[in-house]
């Protein structure tokens, strides 16, 4: 047996257990999706959004990348965002980061890697812009965790300044933007920032 056969065995057991509770579960699932959330999360293996929010299939529309960054030139993110807002009509966009993030650490450490350095450069500028606050914190781990928080809040602001989202608000679409952080050491998800549509819809 190959090591990855376990993946397929687990999949069949999972599908079977859902079918025994509701034999049309997957036929119904195949008809379409109406998620209320668009989740922008980190690629880290320990922060699966469906697991940590105890969600079911169909509840979260997801985009993940290293360090949950909103890059205005990222066509992958833009296509997902467009589909979430204008086709799925999600109500909430969540930037969800986490403590002990390897991407944030790479920016903090000044890691030089041709495939990573450029991607995390936005976190590097967040670090430079908040140098005094970060330096006043004791210990690299705590500094990296505060930098993760600051970066999440910055991504929320970036979303709020994007035409895709401003246009939705201008049409009266009630779209919330959230910045959340997951604590790997406690399993808890907490809110850092929220932009309420009533403040943005004129
Ligand atoms: Zn991460």
Separation of alpha carbons 181 and 173, rounded Å: 25
What pTM was computed for the model?
0.96
Separation of alpha carbons 72 and 165, rounded Å: 12
Residue 1 has a pLDDT of: 81
Residue 201 has a pLDDT of: 74
Domain spans of the chain, in order of start: 1-31, 34-200
State mean pLDDT over 179-202.
Answer: 94
CA of 182 to the centre of ligand 1 (A): 10
pLDDT band for position 141 (cuts 50, 70, 90): very high
CA of 103 to the centre of ligand 1 (A): 5
Q: What is the dihedral of CA 162, 167, 196, 41, to 10 degrees?
A: -40
Q: Which of 61-65, 164-168, 196-200 has the lowest mean pLDDT?
A: 196-200
CA of 28 to the centre of ligand 1 (A): 34
Residue 202 has a pLDDT of: 65
Residue 196 has a pLDDT of: 95
For domain 34-200, the CATH superfamily is Carbonic anhydrase (3.40.1050.10)
CA of 180 to the centre of ligand 1 (A): 13
CA of 58 to the centre of ligand 1 (A): 24
pLDDT in tens, 9-36: 999 999 999 999 999 999 999 999 999 9
CA of 163 to the centre of ligand 1 (A): 27
Question: Which residues on neighbouring strands pair with residue 61, listed in sequence order?
Answer: 38
Mean pLDDT over the full length of the chain: 97
Q: Are 47 and 69 in contact (CB under 8 A)?
A: no
| Catalytic positions, written as ranges | 42, 44, 46, 98, 101
Convert the chain into a string of H (helix), E (strand) and C (coil).
CCCCHHHHHHHHHHHHHHHHHCCCHHHHHCCCCCCCEEEEEECCCCCCHHHHCCCCCCCEEEEEECCCCCCCCCHHHHHHHHHHHHHCCCCEEEEEEECCCHHHHHHHHCCCCCCCCCCCHHHHHHHHHCHHHHHCCCCHHHHHHHHHHHHHHHHHHHHHCCHHHHHHHHCCCCCEEEEEEEECCCCEEEEEEEECHHHHCC
pLDDT band for position 45 (cuts 50, 70, 90): very high
Separation of alpha carbons 90 and 175, rounded Å: 7
CA of 87 to the centre of ligand 1 (A): 28
pLDDT in tens, 81-128: 999 999 999 999 999 999 999 999 999 999 999 999 999 999 999 999
């Amino acid at each position: 047996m190959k090591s990855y056969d376990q993946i397929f065995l687990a999949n069949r057991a999972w599908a079977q257990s859902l079918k025994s509770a509701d034999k049309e579960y997957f036929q119904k699932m195949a008809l379409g999706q109406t998620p209320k959330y668009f989740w922008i999360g980190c690629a880290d293996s320990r922060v699966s959004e469906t697991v940590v929010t105890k969600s079911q299939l169909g509840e979260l529309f997801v985009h993940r990348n290293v360090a949950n960054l909103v890059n205005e030139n990222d066509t992958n993110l833009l296509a997902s965002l467009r589909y979430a807002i204008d086709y799925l009509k999600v109500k909430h966009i969540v930037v969800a980061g986490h403590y002990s993030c390897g991407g944030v650490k790479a920016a903090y450490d000044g890691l030089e890697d041709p495939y990573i350095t450029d991607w995390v450069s936005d976190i590097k500028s967040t670090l430079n812009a908040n140098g005094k606050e970060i330096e006043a914190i004791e210990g690299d781990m705590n500094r990296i965790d505060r930098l993760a928080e600051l970066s999440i809040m910055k991504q929320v602001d970036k979303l709020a300044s994007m035409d895709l989202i401003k246009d939705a608000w201008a049409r009266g679409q009630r779209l919330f933007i959230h910045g959340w952080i997951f604590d790997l050491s406690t399993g808890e998800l907490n809110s850092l920032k929220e932009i309420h549509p009533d403040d943005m819809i004129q």
